[in-house]
Amino acid sequence: MEYLEKLNPQQREAVEHTEGPLLILAGAGSGKTRVLTCRIAYLIEHCGVRPWNIMAITFTNKAAGEMRERVDGLVGMGSEAIWVSTFHSSCCRILRRYIDRIGYDNSFTIYDTDDSRQVMKAVIKELELNPKIYKEKALLGKISAAKNNLVSPDEMEADASRWEEKQTARAYRAYQKRLKKNNALDFDDLLVLAVELFEKAPDVLENYQERFRYILIDEYQDTNTVQFRFVKLLAEKYRNICVVGDDDQSIYKFRGANIMNILNFEKSFPGAKVIKLEQNYRSTQSILDAANEVISNNSGRKEKKLWTDNGRGTRVRFREFQTGYDEAEFVAGEIARKVREENRSYRDYAVLYRTNAQSRLFEEKMIAADIPYKLVGGVNFYARREIKDMLAYLKTVDNALDDLAVQRIVNVPKRGVGATSLARVQNYALENGISFYEALQEAEKIPGLGRSLGGIRKFTALIGRLRAAGREYLNVREILEMIIRETGYVEELEAEGTDEDKARIENINELVSKTADYMEQAENPSLSEFLQQVSLVADIDSVDPDGDYVLLMTLHSAKGLEFDYVYMTGMEENTFPSYMAVSGEDSEELEEERRLCYVGITRARKELTMTAAQMRMVRGEPQFLRASRFVREIPRELIELEGETTDTRNFMKPPEVSMDRIMKFGTGGAERGYGSFGSSRARSAHGPSGNHYSLNQFRVQKADHLDYKEGDRVRHVKFGDGTVQDIKDGGKDYEVTVDFDTCGVKRMFASFAKLKKI
């Protein structure tokens, strides 16, 4: 057990404390994965625990893969019996075996985000909801939040007090009904139904309790209510549960993460031992001091302080620019220069920002500077049209009850099956209580199909051949190749011959490569398992650690990664922390933003540069900002000020941006393509306590009254038609909030908006 000698005292204590509940508070870069893997090896080698009695769960496929690799290296023979997986994959694996106990077929389909939106679109139509008010994404978000908190459609309806809430509950019920009919689950259902299975089938629960006598959970601060319930049920019998996490890195509240799971661990598991890992192996002390100072401003946390033997290093740099354009130009230029002059690699750099919308300028400047980069969070490989088409064929072969998959491909490539004919098939299916595919098989009984009947027959015959071949002799790769060959999909793309079509062919070829890799790595390969694996792929799993490019990503995406040189951009009030966190009364939201800042700071190994813009374009309009409070929470002696800001006192002044600069970047038809200069945000700058500093070039003339009221339809010269959501009398002018049909919600002063009632 030589690995024990490489651990620090706190890490070793965490490894050797094997019985009963254990909370390991692992600060950023403190070697938590080493502790987890060494603990697994110790349980097997020293305590005689059988490998199949150990379960290790984390959140991403990437993290699970890294843990699996390390465990295999330490344990050697027999390590394959250890269950190392994500929450979703673990639940899916359990449900594949036992979901029939709660009324589903074991060959269920997993719906991704696009699939779920298609189902919700149909639900909105079915319930005759106004799609301008009840939007697919918003409804799915509320349903997901309900599932994360184990709230059923009936419970949601019982708790609903407003009309909109009752309609959401109706949509939730109809959505679940459609999923059940299609024998399909969305991502949240994997967890919810696993808990339901355990609660309704005690023998199944006992079976897994006996199997998993030692449970290890990574990133415990990111667990939600349903994940907590899943773990609690599994650990009830033997109580040998070890969770590793850092409450200071709990940043996924918007996904349902409940920080109280880690803060209340000792209450949930009485008698739990707590061990803190505070030695950091990643960053310099200067970076850690800045992180410690920022996060110490949060009240809802367990006290810890990171330290390192890595040396002090350079101070954190802060540089402020007049515009976001200047900021992006500086970052790209400095990276290019340092790679060229200091023999660095592009892969050493990451540019982090609060929201995806901030990436555009950095992309433009990276391209202009000929810097290779990768945008994390862009279009996922598996979300591309041609890949979704191929996967829909595979899903149909695996589970013909999946209406969504069948409807996607029945006329792809074109078989002469029109929309009217498909609607008739759908109506027939609904009237007879059968699946869409079953209705296609009975197409001769459906009147009015005309020429579409021939295409439908070809489709069902093809699926029949594919299913028969899959059952009898073809593996996953061979089924995919048969689909490509017999559908003529690639031949059609080749006939078109455009660059886009060539790229689609390359993507399909890459999918074939994926199936080949899967066949080599899987113990018991099956089409169902392959589709499950594909469905659970996350954006960050596609990052190639050997690729030499700069990574552009949100702060949320950066969690779990580390880089020698990090640029934290957009460090302004209302950008980071966000406007919602600053303006709201929810202190928890601001504390989560601060935890996000802590995560960003601790991604840096050698150097951290923070940047801000005094004026930033938001929705095509200039917004004037001051430096983020998170920058100002770093003591002066820890931060090096560069460029236009030379003194911390400037953080407390209204931004000084020249009017020439404003008009150059803020007027309609400006040389770099920004939008018009004309809203309340364009005419004011926020002071240290939210005060507004007026620009003398503008005068507000408040109207005696408005010709419209809340709920009225109005027209704006630029944004088009919309519905008035809110009107507030701001003293000097009315502040009007309008939900525009084509460009979303906008807030503006009435005297400048010049809205016309329609």
Q: Indicate which residues carry an active-site annotation.
A: 32-33, 218-219, 249, 603
Contacts of 664 (CB under 8 A, 6+ apart): 670, 671
Distance CA 654, CA 274 (A): 46
Contact (Cβ atoms closer than 8 angstroms) between residue 99 and residue 192 = no
CA 270 centroid distance within chain: 33
- Closest by alpha carbon to 394, among 518, 275, 251? 518
CB of 307 within 8 A of CB of 288?
A: yes
3-state helix/strand/coil string of 438-454: HHHHCHHHCCCCCCHHH
Instruction: At 392, give phi and psi (nearest 5°).
Output: -65, -40
Single-letter residue type at 155 = E
Nearest to 455 by CA among 394, 497, 413, 484: 413
Residue from 620, 745, 629 nearest 681 by CA: 620
- How many Cα atoms occupy the beta-carbon half-sphere of 430 within 13 Å? 10
Task: Count the Cβ atoms, other than its own, within 10 Å of residue 162.
Answer: 8
Bridge-partner residues for 111, per DSSP? Answer: 186
CA within 13 Å, CB half, 386: 21
Residue 86, H or E segment: strand 83-86
Integer Cα distance of 197 and 448 in angstroms = 44
Tokens (6 digits) for 734: 């009315």
Going by C-alpha positions, the residue among 435, 168, 528, 394 that lies closest to residue 176 is 168
| Closest listed residue to residue 709, CA positions, set 723, 730, 695 | 723
Q: Which of 702, 686, 683, 681 is nearest to 694 (CA)?
A: 683
Nearest alpha-carbon partner for 382 in 531, 190, 561 = 531
Residues in the chain: 758
- Specify the pairing of strand 241-245 against strand 22-26: parallel
Please enumerate, by residue number, every residue annotated as part of a binding site for ATP. Answer: 26-33
Q: Give the C-alpha distances (Å, rounded to integers) separating 524 from 381, 515, 729.
A: 25, 13, 67
Q: Rg for the chain (alpha carbons), in Å?
A: 28
| Phi, then psi, of 567 in degrees rounded to 5 | -110, 115
Which DSSP string corresponds to 239-294? --EEEEE-GGG---GGGT--THHHHTHHHHSTT-EEEEE-B-SSS-HHHHHHHHHH
CB-based contacts of 382-389 (< 8 A; 24+ apart in sequence): 382/112, 382/534, 382/537, 383/112, 383/113, 383/114, 384/504, 384/507, 385/504, 386/489, 386/493, 386/504, 386/507, 386/508, 387/507, 387/508, 387/511, 388/114, 389/489
Amino acid making up residue 147:
K
Q: Which residues contact 680 (CB under 8 A, 6 or more apart)?
A: 735, 747, 748, 749, 752
Residues 250, 684: Cα–Cα separation, whole Å? 34
Judge contact between 86 and 78, C-beta under 8 A.
Answer: no
Give the separation between CA 54 and CA 42, rounded to whole angstroms: 12
Give the DSSP letter string of 200-223.
H-HHHHHHHHHH-SEEEESSGGG-
